[in-house]
Amino acid sequence: MYKNIEKRVCLKLKDLVNYQDGQVVSKTLVQNDSVSMTIFSFDQGEEISTHAAGGDAMVTVLEGTGRFTVGGEVFHLNEGETLVMPKDIPHAVYGETRFKMQLTVSF
């Protein structure tokens, strides 16, 4: 079930979360036993340190450029690009510029 989002309204996902200086900001849109969907904004230079997820994690960059390190391999994603980070593989996210992304984790 969706939360923190209007229904029956045309919207842009990147507009659902604002940038904040020196911070990573998130807004959860779905959270249940099968799926989690969250929108993030990263200030330039901010990061989420290395961790592993209990499901496959798909990210789509909505604005800017992010650096994703997955199992030691580095990916630079720009607006409109998507990457799937496999379950239980350590990964990290870094804001090369200010950037926004959608994260969907399927369990």
Q: What structural domains does the chain harbor?
A: 13-106 (2.60.120.10)
Only one residue has tokens 């200086």, namely: 21
Residue 70 in contact with residue 89, Cβ under 8 Å?
yes
Model's pTM, two decimal places? Answer: 0.95
Beta-carbon count within 10 A of 61 CB: 21
| Amino acid 84: pLDDT | 98
pLDDT tens digits in sequence order for the chain, 107 residues long: 899 999 999 999 999 999 999 999 999 999 999 999 999 999 999 999 999 999 999 999 999 999 999 999 999 999 999 999 999 999 999 999 999 999 999 99
Alpha-carbon dihedral sign for residues 75, 28, 3, 11:
negative
| Amino acid 64: pLDDT | 98
Residue type, 83: L
Nearest to 98 by CA among 13, 19, 4, 10: 19
> What is the spatial distance between Cα 89 and Cα 11, in angstroms, rounded to a whole number?
33
Tokens describing residue 90? 């350590």
| Amino acid 1: pLDDT | 86
